[in-house]
């Protein structure tokens, strides 16, 4: 029973980690709390489903196509709405509020657009993976194992991007010290556009995986946004390892609390843990005190 | 090499520079001294493209550069060592230095310059794989200068490099700046530590509340009674 719950928690945690990664990257590099982020997850699931429906391609081919699509959308949204505001945002509270309001506005625009295009009825998305694995008395569907594998691949890819590529290094530099990055002429707009692209791709992956486990619907973005929020505060705002560890931890806690204490109150334990972390380590587990 | 003319720069409604003009010839060390809030950092940030002027122009190497992004200025050979050093704390010294060469193509030339920087600052060689944030203030200043040098600048601008450093380190920095200048780098040095700056500089400008109030050779300003009174601690020394 315990092993089974841990395994289930790992699956959920993988998706949480993916959603939190895209959210924390944007915060780290652009200091933007992107309230529209959950809607990118939702759109990602719809993009993947649409590609599958119209081209007949399997999930694993449709997903990368959709990831590119959401990455582009995310960049376009950044260029059209946020870039003009960001210059002022670093120097004034007024500017920060404008950015927050714009991303909140985007949340509703994107959600309503999805409802107009696809309707409110939940849809199924089939990964096309069947069968189960049994280890001892732990049962896992192959589909859930694939979720874990995809998240592991994306995390490895992200680390490669951040630590091995030129633009990844620039991105880390901007996240660590914006003034220093400006002083050596790192073209911040281009790098931030890039981080929006990566974030969009991660959101699409997380949303599509969620869609295969549950359902694809226009309202599916709200809960993951809230979770991503909790996870990045838990793990440290802007921290990549914090998002991974935080995501997995919260997935595990929800499952264990749901199984052993109360399913109805499973979210409560997440927030109790969050409060505890904030009391003991206000910057988050992996956060740097400013 | 650099000509700033009638530069006005504002943060929102508040104007920080009210028409500043200055020139720097190739091979010079020019210093801008002034009190906190005089607009010194604003001037440097505008020259290197981080801030956009409200009016007036910056001309560098014969072309108007005000309005260009900072990446363009770095590519043209202008480097800034920002006030407060601003190294990347969680990246190694090596990565910090590499990022300084972000816009350069030739790997062999970058490797040669890395050797040069490490020869100038031997302490950085010892700390090459440690995070930038683990260095002391003086070492971080050297890292920030090394990072700027990695772009192979023709014009190196230093913003308050002596801030918060022990006198012995400040002296060492002064020697390094003079050496860099001898090997062909033009220097624009902004300092509150006016004595050190004026001793180093060929020419100097005094900036007060966004205006140039005095200019002359370093020596002239060192002996100027008004400068002594305001910036060199009165009659002392």
Q: Write out pLDDT tens, residues B119-142.
A: 999 999 999 999 999 999 999 999
Q: Is B126 among the domain residues? A: yes
Question: What's the pLDDT score for residue A87?
Answer: 66
Separation CA B138–CA B123 (nearest Å):
10
* DSSP 8-class letter at A289: P
Looking at the structure, do residues B161 and B133 belong to the same domain, yes or no? no
Contacts of B87 (CB under 8 A, 6+ apart): A177, A180, B96, B132, B133, B135, B140, B143, B144, B147
Q: Do B148 and A187 touch (CB under 8 A)?
A: no
pLDDT value at B114 more than 60: yes
Give the model's confidence band at B237: pLDDT under 50 very low, under 70 low, under 90 confident, else very high: very low
Low-confidence ranges of chain A (pLDDT < 70): 87-93, 288-290
pLDDT value at B187 more than 80: yes
Question: What's the pLDDT score for residue A259?
Answer: 87
Residue identified by tokens 């070492």 is B139
Alpha-carbon gap: A116 to the closest alpha carbon of chain B (Å): 41
What integer is the mean pLDDT of B105-131? 92
What integer is the mean pLDDT of B93-102? 94
Residue A161, CA distances (Å) to A27, A125, A155, A265 in order? 17, 29, 10, 38
Q: How many CB atoms lie within 10 A of CB A255?
A: 22
Q: What strands lie across the sheet with B2-11, from one edge to the other?
A: B14-24, B2-11, B55-60, B63-64
Give the model's confidence band at B236: pLDDT under 50 very low, under 70 low, under 90 confident, else very high: very low
Q: Token digits for A77? A: 């949204």
**Where does a domain end: B132, B152, B172?**
B152
Which of B11, B12, B86 has its CB closest to that of A183?
B86
Residue closest to A23 by CA, chosen among A172, A191, A232? A232
Residue identified by tokens 């409110």 is A120
Is some CB atom of chain A closer than 8 A to the CB atom of B155?
Answer: no
**Where does a domain end: B137, B152, B167?**
B152
Question: What's the pLDDT score for residue A93?
Answer: 65
Separation CA A35–CA A237 (nearest Å):
15
Separation CA A196–CA A83 (nearest Å):
11
**Where does a domain end: B108, B135, B152?**
B152
Per-residue pLDDT tens for B3-21? 999 999 988 788 889 999 9
- For an interface test with A, which of B86, B94, B148 has the most A Cβ atoms less than 10 Å from its Cβ? B86
Which of A173, A179, A182 has its CB closest to that of B91?
A173
Give the model's confidence band at B230: pLDDT under 50 very low, under 70 low, under 90 confident, else very high: confident
Looking at the structure, do residues B58 and B170 belong to the same domain, yes or no? yes
CB-CB contact of B103 with B129 (8 Å): no
Q: How many CB atoms lie within 10 A of CB B112?
A: 12
Looking at the structure, do residues B101 and B180 belong to the same domain, yes or no? no
Looking at the structure, do residues B63 and B173 belong to the same domain, yes or no? yes
Q: How many CB atoms lie within 10 A of CB B67?
A: 11
* DSSP 8-class letter at B213: E
Looking at the structure, do residues B94 and B179 belong to the same domain, yes or no? no
Looking at the structure, do residues B226 and B118 belong to the same domain, yes or no? no
Question: What's the pLDDT score for residue A289?
Answer: 58
Is some CB atom of chain A closer than 8 A to the CB atom of B72?
Answer: yes
Contacts of A107 (CB under 8 A, 6+ apart): A35, A36, A38, A39, A221
pLDDT value at B52 more than 60: yes
- For an interface test with A, which of B102, B143, B147 has the most A Cβ atoms less than 10 Å from its Cβ? B102
CA triple A37-A89-A287, angle to 5 deg: 60
Q: Which residue of A has its CA nearest to B70?
A: A185
Q: What is the CATH number of the domain that holds B175?
A: 3.40.50.300
Alpha-carbon gap: B234 to the closest alpha carbon of chain A (Å): 34
Is some CB atom of chain A closer than 8 A to the CB atom of B225?
Answer: no
Q: Is B69 among the domain residues? A: yes
Residues 97-126 of chain B with CB under 8 A from chain A are 98-100, 102-103
Question: What's the pLDDT score for residue A28?
Answer: 87
Looking at the structure, do residues B52 and B19 belong to the same domain, yes or no? yes
Q: Which residue of B has its CA nearest to A175?
A: B88
Interface of A with B (CB under 8 A): 91-92, 166, 169-170, 172-173, 176-177, 179-187, 288
Looking at the structure, do residues B28 and B130 belong to the same domain, yes or no? no
Residue A160, CA distances (Å) to A15, A133, A165, A251 in order? 20, 30, 7, 25
- Alpha-helical segments (H) within B39-166: 40-47, 70-76, 93-100, 107-120, 122-126, 137-149
Looking at the structure, do residues B183 and B73 belong to the same domain, yes or no? yes
SS3 A126: coil
What integer is the mean pLDDT of B196-206? 92
Looking at the structure, do residues B181 and B143 belong to the same domain, yes or no? no
Domain that holds residue B64: 1-77+153-237
Q: Which residue of B has its CA nearest to A179?
A: B86
Q: How many CB atoms lie within 10 A of CB B36?
A: 8
Spell out which residues of chain B touch residue A180, defining contact as CB-CB under 8 Å: 82, 85-88, 144, 147
Alpha carbons within 13 A on the beta-carbon side of B104 = 24
Looking at the structure, do residues B142 and B233 belong to the same domain, yes or no? no
Residue closest to A171 by CA, chosen among A154, A153, A152, A190? A190
Give the model's confidence band at B102: pLDDT under 50 very low, under 70 low, under 90 confident, else very high: very high
Contacts of A263 (CB under 8 A, 6+ apart): none
Q: Which helix (H) or strand (E) holds B30?
A: strand B29-33
- Which residues does residue A114 pair with via DSSP β-bridges, in sequence order? none
Per-residue pLDDT tens for A56-107? 999 999 999 999 999 999 999 999 998 888 765 555 667 778 888 999 999 9
Question: What's the pLDDT score for residue A23?
Answer: 93
SS3 B10: strand
Q: Is B82 among the domain residues? A: no
- pLDDT, mean over chain B: 91
- For an interface test with B, which of A183, A191, A239 has the most B Cβ atoms less than 10 Å from its Cβ? A183
Percent of chain B clearing pLDDT 70 (strictly above): 98
Spell out which residues of chain B touch residue A187, defining contact as CB-CB under 8 Å: 69-71
Looking at the structure, do residues B177 and B188 belong to the same domain, yes or no? yes
Residue closest to B218 by CA, chosen among B199, B195, B190, B234? B199
Q: How many CB atoms lie within 10 A of CB A72?
A: 14
Domains in chain B: how many in total?
A: 2
Q: Do A180 and B144 touch (CB under 8 A)?
A: yes
Spell out which residues of chain B touch residue A186, defining contact as CB-CB under 8 Å: 71, 99, 102
């Amino acid at each position: 029973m315990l092993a089974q719950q841990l395994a289930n928690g790992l699956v959920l945690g993988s998706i949480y980690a993916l959603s939190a990664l895209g959210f924390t990257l944007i915060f780290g590099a652009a200091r933007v709390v992107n309230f529209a982020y959950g809607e990118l997850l939702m759109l990602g699931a719809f993009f993947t489903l649409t590609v599958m429906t119209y081209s007949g391609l399997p999930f694993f081919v449709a997903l990368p196509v959709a990831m590119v699509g959401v990455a582009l959308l995310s960049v376009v949204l950044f260029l059209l709405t946020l870039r003009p505001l960001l210059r002022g945002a670093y120097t004034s509270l007024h500017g920060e509020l404008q950015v927050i309001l714009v991303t909140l506005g985007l949340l509703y625009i994107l959600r309503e657009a999805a409802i107009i295009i696809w309707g409110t009825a939940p849809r199924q998305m089939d990964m096309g993976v069947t069968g189960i694995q049994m280890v001892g008395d732990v049962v896992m569907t192959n589909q859930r194992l694939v979720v874990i594998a995809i998240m592991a691949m994306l995390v490895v890819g992200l680390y490669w991007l951040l630590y091995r590529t030129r633009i990844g290094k620039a991105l880390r530099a901007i996240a660590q010290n914006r003034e220093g990055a400006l002083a050596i002429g790192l073209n911040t707009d281009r790098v931030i556009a890039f981080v929006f692209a990566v974030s969009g791709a991660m959101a699409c992956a997380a949303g599509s995986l969620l869609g295969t486990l549950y359902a694809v619907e226009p309202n599916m973005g709200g809960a993951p946004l809230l979770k991503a929020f909790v996870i990045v505060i838990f793990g440290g705002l802007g921290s990549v390892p914090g998002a991974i560890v935080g995501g997995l931890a919260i997935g595990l806690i929800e499952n264990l609390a749901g199984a052993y204490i109360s399913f109805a109150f499973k979210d409560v334990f997440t927030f109790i843990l969050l409060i505890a972390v904030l009391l003991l380590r206000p910057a988050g587990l992996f956060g740097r005190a400013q | 090499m650099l000509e700033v003319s009638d530069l006005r720069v504002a943060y929102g409604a508040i104007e920080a520079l009210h028409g500043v003009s200055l020139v720097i010839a190739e091979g010079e060390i020019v210093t801008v001294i002034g009190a906190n809030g005089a607009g010194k950092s604003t001037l440097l940030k505008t020259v290197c493209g981080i801030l956009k002027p409200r009016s007036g122009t910056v001309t560098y190497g014969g072309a108007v550069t005000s309005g260009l992004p900072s990446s363009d200025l770095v590519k043209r050979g202008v480097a800034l060592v920002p006030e407060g050093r601003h190294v990347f704390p969680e990246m190694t010294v090596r990565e910090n230095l590499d990022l300084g060469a972000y816009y350069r193509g030739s790997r062999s030339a970058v490797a040669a310059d890395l050797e040069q920087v490490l020869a100038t600052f031997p302490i950085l060689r010892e700390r090459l794989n440690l995070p930038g944030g683990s260095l002391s203030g003086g070492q971080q200043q050297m890292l920030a200068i090394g990072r700027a040098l990695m772009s192979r600048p023709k014009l190196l601008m230093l913003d308050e490099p002596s801030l918060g450093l022990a006198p012995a380190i400040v002296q060492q920095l002064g020697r390094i700046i003079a050496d860099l200048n001898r090997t062909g780098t033009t220097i624009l040095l902004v300092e509150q530590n006016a004595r050190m700056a004026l001793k180093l500089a060929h020419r100097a400008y005094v900036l007060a509340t966004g205006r140039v109030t005095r200019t002359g050779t370093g020596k002239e300003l060192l002996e100027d009674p008004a400068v002594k009174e305001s910036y060199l601690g009165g009659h002392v020394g």
